Homo-oligomer: A and B are copies of this chain.
Amino acid sequence: MLMRTGWPAVLRTHHLFLTLEPEQFERVAREVRLVRVPAGECFVQAGEPADAFFVVAEGSVKLSLFAANGDEKVLDIIAPGQSFAEALLFMQAPVFPVSATAIADSIVLRVPSVPFCAMLAENRAACFKMLAHLSARLHVQVREIEALTLENARQRLIRFLLARVGTDCKGTSIAHTGEPRNVLASHLSMQPETFSRLIKALTDEGMIRPDGRDFVIEDLARLQRA
């Protein structure tokens, strides 16, 4: 459980808030509400009118789209410290384009649009931060479209693993993923079965080794070459 003094710190270290003057920060933070979301609960439905954006303080949140037939596509997985739906602040009739569901028990901070926009209006630097933020997000989306159209499932999986490699305490490379595999599969736009088969293939080829929800990288160089 987060201390009452804990969550403003999470907000403070978010890069959209990092450089604010103390009283500007204070004015926005006053209106922020902490929301506890149990694992599996959908706390934002696509199509709802939006009057706030969110910062994830603890846990993990998936953003997804649904087809008419119920098919789900996980657009993004939001880790603690990251935000989502900021882009809606600047839309004419803001409506959430995606649904947000907690994957693990989570704590999210709800930042209402009005005070945040008011703060932006009087802080040029924060405006530019926000522009840079949206711009970076656009860039990520372009890469996503590139991956979907020019790469196959195997390449997408490899790129995903490489994007998550970190170094283990013992010095071995590990791709750390805290999410269930069907969520990862949807994030990569493939079926769980395909995900499973590809993991098996890469394992048989000696490039990786599954380890619970993580993947040990056995041959980083070869993985990068593919």
Which A residues have a C-beta under 8 Å from some C-beta of B? 65-67, 71, 73, 75, 87-92, 97-98, 120-121, 124, 127-128, 130-132, 134-139, 141-146, 148-151, 189
Contact B149 A73 (CB under 8 A): yes
Contact A141 B139 (CB under 8 A): no
Chain B residues lying within 8 Å of A97, measured Cβ to Cβ, are 139, 142-143
Q: Which residue of B lies closest to A98 (CB)?
A: B142
Known: A90-B131, A128-B90, A132-B91. A75 touches B138 (CB 8 A): no
Chain B residues lying within 8 Å of A65, measured Cβ to Cβ, are 142, 145-146, 149-150
How many protomers of this protein does the assembly include? 2
Contact A134 B87 (CB under 8 A): yes
Chain B residues lying within 8 Å of A88, measured Cβ to Cβ, are 135
Chain B nearest CB, measured from A156 CB (Å): 11
How many angstroms from the CA of A137 to the CA of B97 in the assembled complex? 13
How many angstroms from the CA of A149 to the CA of B151 in the assembled complex? 13
Contact B142 A75 (CB under 8 A): yes
Contact B145 A87 (CB under 8 A): no
How many angstroms from the CA of A91 to the CA of B149 in the assembled complex? 25
Contact B138 A131 (CB under 8 A): no
Chain B residues lying within 8 Å of A120, measured Cβ to Cβ, are 128
How many angstroms from the CA of A121 to the CA of B125 in the assembled complex? 9
Contact A75 B139 (CB under 8 A): no
Chain B residues lying within 8 Å of A98, measured Cβ to Cβ, are 142
Q: Can you show 28 pairs from A to B with CB atoms below 8 A apart? A: A65-B142, A65-B149, A66-B150, A67-B150, A67-B151, A71-B150, A73-B145, A73-B146, A73-B149, A73-B150, A75-B142, A87-B134, A87-B139, A89-B131, A90-B134, A90-B135, A92-B132, A97-B143, A98-B142, A121-B124, A124-B124, A127-B127, A137-B138, A138-B138, A141-B142, A145-B145, A145-B148, A148-B189
